[in-house]
Chain A
Amino acid sequence: MKQKNGGWIALFLAPACILFILIFAIPLVMVFVTSLFDYRLLPRTFTFVGFSNFIQLFTEDNRFWPIFGNTVKWLFIHCIFHVTLGTLLAFILYKKPRGWKFVRVTYMIPNIISQSAIAMIFLNLYNAQYGAVNSFLKLIGLESLQHNWLFETATAFPSVTLTWFLFAGYTTTLVLAQLLSTDESLIEAAEIDGATSFQIDRLVMFPVVKKMIGTTVIMAATYMLQLFSMLYITTGGGPGTDTTNLPLYLYTTVKANNYGYANTIGVVIILLGFVTMTLIRKIFGMNKED
């Protein structure tokens, strides 16, 4: 039977496979290949240089490691603290406290607004001259705490991080949906056995939603590895490299017409993504059957 349907299966899979090859596989191979070239538009250059770009990136480029560090820091912050925040809120809301539906909806709102709009809002909130943050500090007599939040080395990284860190609406929604769809008999059984509310959350409900949390961690990691417009609009990656991540560095390298080097950065992003996804899947046991 299997053999009989093999042709049909191949035929139906063909469009998806061809599309995948055209849209993902070939460009991916091209990124890897061109990372081995000195490839520029002005002056037009396309010379094979082996691993020179990688050697330069890892050993000579003094901007790379701080930028790589920023990317990894944001990955950790987002995957751990951001997801934890969203999950904690989901665990609070699934007990259906007063106003839980209102909180569920309003907490999601920042996630459905475009990143560019959010970035503009924060750019104005943080404005050193007329921004709400400094105005508020002045109002309560804390003028000494005023900063040019997005453009001082000490405050730029945390200020930019706050523009997305608190908005864990997707995590909350997904984990909450999983929690609400769990059979209540599980909780009732635990209650009959004398489990406390905290014990029920930790020992009964958490294992139920563990894989969903894993999924949200993967989403969070993907979001961080793609993060661009928020940084581009707010700080442009500055001051210096304080708020530059790898995608933004790739973009500025492309603007310098250094395509080979940009694709080297692209390869690093792909590898970082691969390692991150593998780790997350391992930690959350996402490859195992239930």
Chain B
Amino acid sequence: MKMMKRWLSCALALVMLLGLVGCGGGTDEGAASDSGSESTGDEIVINYPTFQVGTNTAAPVVAELVNRFNEEYAGQYRIEIEEVPGDANYAERIQVQISSGQLPPVVYGGGYALLDLALEADLVVDLTDVVNADPEWAAMYDNDAWQAANCRDGKIYASSSEGQLIGYFYNKELFDQVGIQPATTWEEFFDNCDKLLAAGITPLAMDTADGAWVSMLLMGAMVATSGDEGLEFMNTKYPTDYNIEPVVNAVAEMQKWYQNYTTLDAVGGAYENAANNFFSGNVAMICNGPWMIGDFSDTSKTPEGFDQNVGVATYPGGFVYDAPIEGMFVTKQDDPALEEAAIAMVKFFTSPEAQTLALEMQGMVPAAASVEITDTATTNFPLLGEFLNMASECTVRSNTFTGNMVPGLQDLFSAELPNLANGTYTPEQFCQILTDFATENAVA
């Protein structure tokens, strides 16, 4: 009996240890799982983490592309979406995965500098040969913005599907109430704001949280149109000196907007607050890109007929944001077949057909100049056609203010903006804080 107990104890201990070893052994499997992929028989499954799900405006497009891809490559490749709600969460997750060296096979670069981070960690597949072998795909790289976003040192690492032309939207009814038109100069713009204010209408939708996207667009437009120094600053990747005249002046203006021209919840508010204020007619103007156009006719977000009431404009000084958006890239995998599947997915998702689909379903501006703006798109989104015509006449173009920031600066920026808004900081002090952080965390 005693012997039996000993054997039993020994067996139990062994089982526990084996379990532990099993956990350890699972690390490799976990890596494959973390990297988001598995093979089932002959079919290669690509797990694709994305924030373009749920209420994200691109969600229907991505879902449709996944369906089409899975149909076209049935039995060979299959994409399974892994939902990561929130673009900031997605970017943070990918950053963590880069540091651990385990990335999903396909990463959407977007405006989060993920490509450079992944390249620095040597995790990105060089697509140069694959792209050059396909004339249609290669033709899309005959474009400076596309190259700036997707190429490094003459090599192709990513492929874009969307452009980033950004102007601003205005509420026609509120504009008509005070008899104003979209401004062509900044003096006129602020004159419009004063007229709206005098009529009891809040002129601007603004925010401070999550990088203050809406506010930044307006402030960045001022910097870009202030002259050569400002425009150069706006087109500099990872600038370290924010204490230059164009930025300080624009920050000083922004301080006044927070104090006079916007809603009470702008300080501390996120994009959602700003958008809701515009959707509900609380404010007259909001800066954002054409991807927002679909929301104007979405009755779950806006009142019936709201889309008829929205106008679009480019910024004073003939300015429009024309920022390159990093495309999708393929990451290095242990399994070459999985890399091939990932390349097929990137090619499919960034093809001219995919860009046309996004244009017609979402009003997304195509990344490739060769993709025509179809009648379906302008019928579905009349504002888009109008905006693209206006944008084509703009003479000043740049990246966004936050798009060039060193990693981490957006968080500091959001945290410090309330202090600028309430006057705790002078514009110079605010810019110095940004300068100190950017210098400390400079990216060579």
- Contacts from A to B (Cβ < 8 Å): 8, 11-12, 14-15, 18-19, 22, 41-44, 127-130, 148, 150-153, 235-241, 244, 252-253, 255-259
Instruction: Assess the A44–B120 pair: CB atoms within 8 A.
Output: yes
B 108-149 to A, binary, CB cutoff 8 A, 1 in contact else 0 = 000001001100110000000000000000000000000000
Instruction: Assess the A238–B117 pair: CB atoms within 8 A.
Output: no
Q: Is B418 interfacial (CB-CB < 8 Å)?
A: yes
| Contact residues in A for B116 (Cβ distance below 8 Å) | 42
Instruction: Assess the A14–B415 pair: CB atoms within 8 A.
Output: no
Q: Is B179 interfacial (CB-CB < 8 Å)?
A: no
Q: Given the known A-B contacts A128-B265, A151-B208, A151-B267, are A43 and B444 also in contact in the complex, defined by CB atoms under 8 Å?
A: yes
Q: A43 to B424, alpha carbons, bound, how many Å?
A: 34
Instruction: Assess the B407–A256 pair: CB atoms within 8 A.
Output: yes
A126 closest partner in B (C-beta): B268
| Contact residues in A for B76 (Cβ distance below 8 Å) | none
| Contact residues in B for A14 (Cβ distance below 8 Å) | 13, 17
Minimum distance in angstroms from A22 CB to a CB of chain B: 8
Instruction: Assess the A42–B415 pair: CB atoms within 8 A.
Output: no
Q: Is B43 interfacial (CB-CB < 8 Å)?
A: no
Q: A241 to B412, alpha carbons, bound, how many Å?
A: 9
| Contact residues in A for B209 (Cβ distance below 8 Å) | 236
Minimum distance in angstroms from B10 CB to a CB of chain A: 8
Instruction: Assess the A148–B267 pair: CB atoms within 8 A.
Output: yes
| Contact residues in B for A237 (Cβ distance below 8 Å) | 411, 415
Q: Is B406 interfacial (CB-CB < 8 Å)?
A: yes
Q: A257 to B95, alpha carbons, bound, how many Å?
A: 9
Q: A11 to B268, alpha carbons, bound, how many Å?
A: 56
Instruction: Assess the A153–B422 pair: CB atoms within 8 A.
Output: yes
| Contact residues in B for A22 (Cβ distance below 8 Å) | 24
Instruction: Assess the B17–A240 pair: CB atoms within 8 A.
Output: no
Minimum distance in angstroms from A217 CB to a CB of chain B: 30
Instruction: Assess the A15–B411 pair: CB atoms within 8 A.
Output: no
Q: Is B16 interfacial (CB-CB < 8 Å)?
A: yes
Instruction: Assess the A15–B265 pair: CB atoms within 8 A.
Output: no
15 residue pairs of the A-B complex, CB under 8 angstroms, read: A12-B16, A42-B113, A43-B120, A43-B444, A129-B263, A129-B264, A151-B208, A238-B268, A238-B415, A238-B416, A238-B417, A239-B415, A239-B417, A239-B419, A240-B419
Instruction: Assess the A44–B121 pair: CB atoms within 8 A.
Output: yes
Instruction: Assess the B443–A43 pair: CB atoms within 8 A.
Output: yes
Q: A252 to B411, alpha carbons, bound, how many Å?
A: 7
Q: A14-B13, A42-B113 are known contacts; what are 9 more A-B pairs with Cβ within 8 Å? A: A15-B17, A42-B443, A44-B121, A148-B265, A153-B424, A236-B209, A239-B419, A240-B419, A259-B99
Minimum distance in angstroms from A119 CB to a CB of chain B: 13
| Contact residues in A for B265 (Cβ distance below 8 Å) | 127-130, 148
Instruction: Assess the B418–A239 pair: CB atoms within 8 A.
Output: yes
Question: Which of the residues B19, B99, B267, B414 comes within 8 Å of A41, measured between beta carbons?
Answer: B99
Minimum distance in angstroms from B5 CB to a CB of chain A: 11
Q: Which residues from 389 to 444 on chain B have a C-beta closer than 8 Å to any C-beta of chain A?
A: 406-409, 411-412, 414-419, 421-422, 424, 437, 441, 443-444
**Chain B residues touching A, range:** 35 or more
B 19-42 to A, binary, CB cutoff 8 A, 1 in contact else 0 = 110001000000000000000000
Q: Is B229 interfacial (CB-CB < 8 Å)?
A: no
Question: Which of the residues B17, B267, B411, B444 comes within 8 Å of A128, measured between beta carbons?
Answer: B267
Q: A22 to B26, alpha carbons, bound, how many Å?
A: 14
A8, A41, A259 pick with most chain B CB within 10 angstroms: A41
Q: A253 to B415, alpha carbons, bound, how many Å?
A: 14
- Contacts from B to A (Cβ < 8 Å): 9-10, 13, 16-17, 19-20, 24, 92, 95, 98-99, 113, 116-117, 120-121, 208-209, 263-265, 267-268, 406-409, 411-412, 414-419, 421-422, 424, 437, 441, 443-444
| Contact residues in B for A236 (Cβ distance below 8 Å) | 209, 411, 414-415
A8 closest partner in B (C-beta): B9
Instruction: Assess the A42–B264 pair: CB atoms within 8 A.
Output: no
| Contact residues in A for B417 (Cβ distance below 8 Å) | 238-239
Minimum distance in angstroms from A229 CB to a CB of chain B: 12
Q: Given the known A-B contacts A15-B16, A42-B117, A43-B444, are A151 and B98 also in contact in the complex, defined by CB atoms under 8 Å?
A: no
Question: Which of the residues B10, B268, B412, B444 comes within 8 Å of A151, measured between beta carbons?
Answer: B268
Q: Given the known A-B contacts A41-B98, A41-B121, are A235 and B419 also in contact in the complex, defined by CB atoms under 8 Å?
A: no
Minimum distance in angstroms from A47 CB to a CB of chain B: 14
B412 closest partner in A (C-beta): A252
Lowest 6 CB-CB distances: which A-B pairs, in order?
A256-B408, A238-B415, A239-B418, A151-B268, A129-B265, A128-B264
Instruction: Assess the A42–B13 pair: CB atoms within 8 A.
Output: no
Question: Which of the residues A11, A44, A241, A258 comes within 8 Å of B415, measured between beta carbons?
Answer: A241
Instruction: Assess the B16–A239 pair: CB atoms within 8 A.
Output: no
Minimum distance in angstroms from B227 CB to a CB of chain A: 30
Question: Which of the residues A12, A151, A258 comes within 8 Å of B418, measured between beta carbons?
Answer: A151
Minimum distance in angstroms from B260 CB to a CB of chain A: 15
Minimum distance in angstroms from A48 CB to a CB of chain B: 19
A14, A235, A255 pick with most chain B CB within 10 angstroms: A255
Q: Given the known A-B contacts A128-B267, A240-B424, are A255 and B415 also in contact in the complex, defined by CB atoms under 8 Å?
A: no
